[in-house]
Amino acid sequence: MPITQILADNCRLYGDDVCLVEINPERKGARRVTWREYDLIEPARSHYYRREITWNIFDEKANRFANLLMSRGIGHGDKVAILLMNCLEWLPIYFGTLKTGAIAVPLNFRYTPDEIKYCLDLAGADALVFGLEFIGRVEEIADSAGADRIMIFYGAAECPSFAEDYNELTTDCSSLPPDVRVTDDDFAAIYFSSGTTGFPKAILHRHSSLMHACRAEQAHHGQTRDDIFLCIPPLYHTGAKMHWLGSFYVGGKGVLLKGTEPKYILDAVSKERCTIVWLLVPWAQDILGALERGDILLSDYELGQWRLMHIGAQPVPQSLIRRWLEHFPNHQYDTNYGLSESIGPGCVHLGVGNIHKVGAIGLPGYGWEAKIVAQSGEGAARGDVGELCVRGPGVMECYYRDPEATANTLRDGWLYTGDMAMQDEDGFIFLVDRKKDVIISGGENIYPVQVENFLSAHEAVKDVAVIGLPDSRLGEIAAAIIELKPGLSATQDDIAAFCHELPKYKRPRRVIFADVPRNPTGKIEKPKLRAMYGAEGIVATQNMG
């Protein structure tokens, strides 16, 4: 069945139960309100600390948006891009899109105007829904990107002239389900990823992929209706949404938290009675650091119901989990491996019963197969390093409009991940290195070529290489090795100021002035640079964060 059927079933079974809660702890002194109160209060609606909706309201909002889209000619095979920060409207807009038979296209909220336009054009988006935070970026491209697209603004502010207001448009739309047949085989979503070139690829998935994510997540973590899932990462990311799908599948509540400070996380777990929390490594490190410094006390919170902490999106240090279990000895723990091409996390996972194997990414997940392929193309022997490949119901259909990249990645039903791995004698898979040079910092991908191209525009830069260096909190940080032009100079501060035009997460955290080695074919020798600066070389650098 299509994933939209789960929403209909949850409404039929649990319609008046709260299904989603939004918390913004940075809104000081605000009172708690329900969705209906919230929508009746026009001024300063964004200033409320907590909002909630029931399954019935979720479905009504999705239906209104679906009927709006259909009134504008959006239907099967069309694409609706979503550029919103996490909020209660995000998921109803996503599901409203799916109810029309159209394809949802979530966009990274860190995209620059040029990246937004590139992704809209690549996906062939017919509509864009964007939030208050993105008015400036969308305005920059409105003349070109908005010419043949429906532009819909959602937010507690005056609607910009180049768009139409979401609240006004949906008010008069029917809240009844649209009369559209959607099947498992219909295309459902396009998610964006990038290779080492930094150009995003559009990853196309069917409803069957989303349904498998529901089943796999629930099989891995045993969610029931009584579980409450705390969602902190952005919903455009497959990791956040696919983990939430395990709760969605059984009619469980989800809590959307805006903010990652340790106090915010523990406060949300305590007040909302959360039982399952998915963290990135930096957030777990911050919680441990705050506990160990005495900045927060576990005795100030009600945490006895919290049963599972799972973590992913980057390699997890074994020491982190050992420290975590010292503070939370009763927690189940799991780590998850996945890609957007495999509908997010879970194609490989450790499993809550395998904590003795911390350090591994685990075993093939529910419904998945995995193999390690040697450079020869043959299966690698246990203990030998090769490329990790996965196969299962969540593998993407293709890279949209990129048959060459699709053919390189999908072979005989197997997804070649580009990650190098090995299996131990028990079959547990360990990541060794990435075949590509993508840097994963705090769960976000940084594409070195993008940063290198940007830095190359500096008048004093002759050559530049960007590599990942190990970092205890973020997993990796981006380091720029810069070779200056003869007779010209630049300082650390010069480079830091120049990089202010980059999104913050892409800015190099370290800068090293040195020669950039290249091989005879002109390629940068990044393994050599990692060996040079991965440990001792780090002391010769300056923190640019």
* Per-residue model confidence (pLDDT) at position 198: 58
| Residue at 31 is within a domain | yes
| Residue at 264 is within a domain | no
Residue 40 shares a structural domain with residue 182: yes
pLDDT in tens, 253-297: 999 999 999 999 999 999 999 999 999 887 888 899 899 889 999
| Residue at 40 is within a domain | yes
* Per-residue model confidence (pLDDT) at position 537: 41
* Per-residue model confidence (pLDDT) at position 314: 65
| Residue at 291 is within a domain | no
- Give the three-class secondary structure for 351: coil
Q: Residue 253 and residue 92: Cα distance in Å, rounded? A: 15
For residue 520, what pLDDT band results from cuts at 50, 70 and 90?
very low
Residue 410 shares a structural domain with residue 464: no
Q: Residue 302 and residue 352: Cα distance in Å, rounded? A: 23
Mean pLDDT, residues 466-470: 92
Residue 33 shares a structural domain with residue 150: yes
Q: Which of 176, 221, 140 is nearest to 66 (CA)?
A: 176
Residue 541 pLDDT greater than 60, yes or no: no
| Residue at 96 is within a domain | yes
Mean pLDDT, residues 472-482: 92
User: Total structural domains in the chain?
Assistant: 3
Helix (H) or strand (E) holding 335: strand 332-339
Residue 492 pLDDT greater than 80, yes or no: yes
Q: Residue 523 and residue 535: Cα distance in Å, rounded? A: 23
Mean pLDDT, residues 211-227: 97
3-state secondary structure 485-504: CCCCCCCHHHHHHHHHHCCH
Residue 125 shares a structural domain with residue 153: yes
Q: Which of 263, 271, 265, 204 is nearest to 233 (CA)?
A: 265
Domain final position from 215, 243, 259: 259
Q: What own/partner pairs with CB < 8 Å and gap ≥ 24 does 67-74 have?
A: 67/173, 67/174, 67/176, 67/178, 68/96, 68/169, 68/170, 68/173, 69/96, 69/97, 69/100, 69/102, 69/127, 70/100, 70/178, 70/180, 71/173, 72/127, 72/150, 74/100, 74/102, 74/126, 74/127, 74/150
Residue 38 pLDDT greater than 50, yes or no: no
Domain that holds residue 494: 439-543
For residue 110, what pLDDT band results from cuts at 50, 70 and 90?
confident
| Residue at 303 is within a domain | no
Q: Which residues of 60-80 are buried (b: 16+ CB within 10 A; e: fewer)?
A: bbbbbbbbbbbeeebeeebbb
Residue 40 shares a structural domain with residue 98: yes
Domain of 48: which CATH number? 3.40.50.12780
* Per-residue model confidence (pLDDT) at position 440: 85
Average pLDDT taken over every residue of the chain: 89
pLDDT in tens, 436-454: 677 888 888 787 877 887 8
| Residue at 457 is within a domain | yes
pLDDT in tens, 372-425: 999 888 888 999 988 999 999 999 999 999 999 999 999 999 999 988 889 999
Q: Which of 140, 122, 23, 344 is nearest to 130 (CA)?
A: 140
- Give the three-class secondary structure for 308: strand
Identify the weakest region by mean pLDDT among 100-109, 196-205, 271-280, 382-391: 196-205
- CA of 440: how far to CAs of 314, 446, 473, in Å? 6, 6, 12
The answer to whether the CB of 279 falls within 8 A of the CB of 254 is: no
Residue 95 shares a structural domain with residue 208: yes
Mean pLDDT, residues 171-200: 87
Mean pLDDT, residues 4-30: 89
Domain of 376: which CATH number? 2.30.38.10
Domain final position from 259, 294, 316: 259
* Per-residue model confidence (pLDDT) at position 29: 45
Residue 430 shares a structural domain with residue 539: no
Residue 41 pLDDT greater than 70, yes or no: no
* Per-residue model confidence (pLDDT) at position 544: 53
- For the chain, the maximum distance between any two Cα atoms, rounded to a whole number of angstroms, is 74
Helix axes 207-221, 238-250, angle to 10 degrees: 70
* Per-residue model confidence (pLDDT) at position 11: 97
Residue 489 shares a structural domain with residue 448: yes
| Residue at 322 is within a domain | no
Q: Residue 518 and residue 72: Cα distance in Å, rounded? A: 54
Residue 10 shares a structural domain with residue 111: yes
* Per-residue model confidence (pLDDT) at position 528: 87
For residue 44, what pLDDT band results from cuts at 50, 70 and 90?
very low
Q: Residue 352 and residue 348: Cα distance in Å, rounded? A: 13
For residue 43, what pLDDT band results from cuts at 50, 70 and 90?
very low
Residue 235 shares a structural domain with residue 379: no
Looking at the chain, the whole-number percentage of residues with pLDDT higher than 90 is 67
Residue 205 shares a structural domain with residue 163: yes
pLDDT in tens, 347-387: 999 999 998 998 899 999 999 999 999 988 888 899 998 89
Measure CA 37 to chain center.
Answer: 31
Looking at the chain, the whole-number percentage of residues with pLDDT higher than 70 is 91
Domain final position from 409, 434, 459: 434
Residue 139 shares a structural domain with residue 164: yes
Domain of 472: which CATH number? 3.30.300.30
Better-predicted residue by pLDDT, 30 or 63: 63
Whose tokens are 């909020």? That residue is 87
